[in-house]
Chains A and B, each alone.
Chain A
Amino acid sequence: MANFASGITRRNFVRGAAGVASLAAMGGLAACSGGAGTEGGPQPVRTGPGPGGYRIDLGGYQGPELTDKPVVLRFLRQSYSDEVNALFASHYATFSKAYPNIKIEEELIPYGNLPQKIQIYTQSGDAPDIMMSRLDFTEYMSRSGQALNLTDYLTQAFLSDLFTPMREAGSSGGRLYLMPWEGYLPMVLFNREIFKRAGVPTPPEVDKLDDGWTVEQMFETMNALTHNLRKKGDTATWALESSILGNGGPGSNYTQYESIWIRNMGDRSAEKGSSLHSTWQGVSDNGLTVSGYLDTDEAIQGMRNYQRLFSEGLTPKSAIPAQFQGAQAAMSMNSIRQILNRDKPGGASPFDVGVTLDPRRNMLFGCNSGDAPFVWAKSKHPNEAAALLAYLCSDACQAPFFRSRGAFITRRSLVEKLEEYQKPDEQLALKVADNCDGAPRTVGWNEYYAAINPAVKDIALGADPEKTLRGTAKHIDDQLKKYHR
């Protein structure tokens, strides 16, 4: 009450204005949206004391004070390393110490199984209160009414602090549904020692995005590496590491990896409606048509390039864990996380590591769609779940998470506080962050993702790219028809 009795402060004014704005936005959207989540109109969230007004620092949380009744919050997420998992446990302990009535239970599953698990849970009607998803699923999670609108639970300062592309990727209709948790910034790491051993020049190390290498230059390098290593009798070392995203191997994570090969054939600055622009966009404006976007001539050529990785023996056809870290691959197309982790035990620095950009074709493309938890809209304890999520996104929890996991922080103010980001490679990564795009924006990303991953794997294993992409685009179109209603 003291907050409200103290007159109109700047914070109260901003909070009030944000509340009015969000109410207006909700009213407007509710009027034009047929989504289940807005059926009957969402109830406005009562604003609580705000930062500094709770028993512990709950970061950007500004919702009602948490209940005193016994509550069990369930959190579904991927299993991290033991060190990171222990970090979560210590955060829960701190939270439960302040709120002894709130118990937190986790369910940890392999990362690649999260989308399906969430799908199964939400269909069952008994889902965990918080679930780890990815920013590419924002449209579905919001329009299906599965994800809680977090906007009113969070201060405007917190929302503004999120990197804009990531906040936008987690938002639908101007409201935040999925919390940007860690950014995915694709880069190429290389092992200088393998290059030296093979007598092949290392990739260009640049500080500007325009100075990176092309797809053709990358293939020349990989072929030279492979040829020279085999000539020297080294049959175990690969030019490029097997994908370690998702469950590993080709077709394990189109969003973050394989889409690079298609979407870098497009051009975001090309004329809208042109084949180049459509290739970059990946789906129609309304998110319901894929034919003409995923199967353009450019996209097919992109998949032919991708197929060369396997047909020319430059990368394995199956999942092999930690090839790059084990010095069994000269290069790794992966995220900034590997760079941030390279000096840690088990990181990539038993050898001399270099960093460069992903190869460009018609443009430099990288998808920034990273992990993003959401609060289940049907949770019995939305305030407590939103508070826990906000707490886990606070500086006190995110900074150790960054140091432990090497994740790319999604809030600008914290990035600026961390000295690790001042190094040249990390500065290059920050430029990549500004250049990255989200996944194709469609309410049917579940279907898109489920169809394109096996298709990409088939192409890796030798299927005709044109036939496969055209068939897959048609298949996705058929699946998206149900959203036309």
Chain B
Amino acid sequence: MILPAIVGIALFQYYPVIVAAVHSLQSFDPFTNEAVGFTGLDNYSRMFTNEGFQSALRNTVLYVMSSMLIEIPLSLALAVFIDQHLPGTRFVRVSVIATLAASETVAAIVWAQMYNPDQGLFNGLLSVLGVPPQDFLNSGSEALISVVLMSSWKNIGIPTLIFLTGLQAIPRDYYEAAAIDGASGFRQFRSITLPLLRGSGTVVVFMATLQSARIFVPIVLMTQGGPDGATRNLVFYSYEQTFQFNSRGVGSAAAIFMLLFLGVIIAVQFKLLGRRYDS
């Protein structure tokens, strides 16, 4: 019964990883793109000494941290709001699901237009508030966070639904008992909701980590890794090396490094959050 799934996973998940791992140890003929021999760790050595890689690694960490800082509290707030069945919750619920339905490519193009420093919507709104126009995607200090905001908008739906599912699984009796004991709404949230959402939170953290570390389409369409490498992450670095600079060995090394890097982060998270969840 599960054989097709195993074959599918082996073919489309494990096999490419094995191929990339082998490629990362090889050099390639730039004309034929065929492997011409093993070079040991040369590709890794070239990668680690490359400034572009170093900034990509730094940016990947920034993407993960800033995405989590935005997505987790926001998705939790949205889930709590939707769970209240107040006026407007239906609109918010539909809006959140709509972001899931939207094409990432289309969303990136639309956001890029809204970020346009000369004709974009955001600078139009800022000018109404008397704020000087911003460069957004053209600014070394604003570009990364601009991409993160777009990506968080696109990705916020699933964490919200996960939190919402977690909220709806909490028995109402707990809140009624707490209310009888005189607990305020905030106290109920802190002492009942948050602890019982730890499982959902762990899943959301894992997902947000993986999603934010793999942001690619918005970078390609909105910034191409610029300005001055400010939005280049490890995925984009790997893509650049492989397809733009015709350096398959270094591109594969970057992909393998990213796999290991994410594995370590997830393992640490699992150790910290998973243990608490189990307890």
Contacts and interface: CB of A to CB of B under 8 A. Distances in A.
Mutual binders A and B:
yes
Interface string A294-331: 00000000000000000000001110100000000000
Contact of B247 (A35, A145, A318, A479): A479
A145 B117 contact: no
B83 interface: no
A144 B31 contact: yes
A116 to B, nearest CB: 6
A116 B173 CA distance: 59
Most buried by B among A143, A454, A458, A485: A454
Interface string A134-152: 0000000001110000000
A98 interface: no
A483 B30 contact: yes
A454 B224 CA distance: 8
Interface string A10-45: 000000000000000000000000011100000000
A447 B245 contact: yes
Contacts of A318: 116-118, 137-138
B166 interface: no
Query: Which of B31, B52, B135, B240 is the most central at the interface, judged by chain A CB atoms within 10 Å of its CB?
Result: B31
B246 A119 contact: yes
B176 interface: no
Given A320-B116, A447-B245, A458 B228 contact: yes
Q: Chain A's interface: helix, strand, loop or mixed, by majority?
A: helix
B124 interface: no
A143 B31 contact: yes
Contacts of A120: 243
B243 A454 contact: no
B199 interface: no
Nearest to B120: A318
A461 interface: yes
B246 to A, nearest CB: 6
A468 B140 CA distance: 14
Interface in B12-56: 28-33, 52
Interface in A416-448: 444, 446-447
A71 B135 CA distance: 51
B250 to A, nearest CB: 10
A463 B118 contact: no
B50 to A, nearest CB: 8
B274 interface: no
B103 interface: no
Contacts of A119: 243-244, 246
Given A143-B31, A320-B116, A454-B225, A461 B135 contact: yes
A482 interface: yes
A463 B230 CA distance: 12
Contacts of A36: 29, 31-32
B246 A447 contact: yes
Given A317-B135, A320-B116, A458-B226, A35 B243 contact: no
A451 B224 CA distance: 11
A6 interface: no
Contacts of A35: 31
A461 B139 CA distance: 8
B134 to A, nearest CB: 12
A450 interface: yes
Contacts of B32: 36, 144-145
Interface in B224-255: 224-228, 240, 243-248
Nearest to A475: B52
B119 interface: yes
Interface string B36-79: 00000000000000001000000000000000000000000000
A116 B31 contact: no
Nearest to B230: A458
A457 interface: yes
Nearest to B36: A485
Contacts of B225: 454
Interface centre among B28, B30, B119, B246, by most chain A C-beta atoms within 10 angstroms, is B30
B226 A454 contact: yes
Contact of B245 (A37, A143, A145, A450): A450
A444 B244 CA distance: 11
Contacts of B248: 123
Contacts of B119: 320
A174 to B, nearest CB: 19
A321 B244 CA distance: 26
B227 A458 contact: yes
Nearest to A449: B244
A250 B75 CA distance: 37
Instruction: Report which residue of B33, B139, B247 has the largest number of chain A beta carbons within 10 angstroms of its beta carbon.
Output: B33
A320 B245 contact: no
Contact of A320 (B28, B118, B138): B118
B138 A123 contact: no
A410 to B, nearest CB: 27
A446 B227 contact: no
B243 A457 contact: no
A119 B245 CA distance: 10
Nearest to A124: B33
A83 B175 CA distance: 66
A457 B226 contact: yes
Nearest to A316: B118
A446 B226 CA distance: 18
Nearest to B27: A482
Contacts of B138: 317-318, 461
Given A119-B243, A447-B245, A450-B244, A457 B31 contact: no
Contact of A123 (B33, B139, B228): B33
A145 B28 CA distance: 15
A120 B243 CA distance: 7
A3 to B, nearest CB: 38
13 contacts: A36-B29, A36-B31, A119-B243, A122-B33, A123-B33, A320-B119, A446-B246, A447-B246, A461-B138, A461-B228, A463-B227, A479-B246, A482-B30
Interface of A: 35-37, 116, 119-120, 122-123, 143-145, 251, 316-318, 320, 444, 446-447, 450-451, 454, 457-458, 461, 463, 468, 475, 479, 482-483, 485
Q: Closest 8 CB pairs between A and B?
A: A450-B244, A144-B31, A36-B32, A36-B31, A482-B30, A458-B228, A316-B118, A461-B227
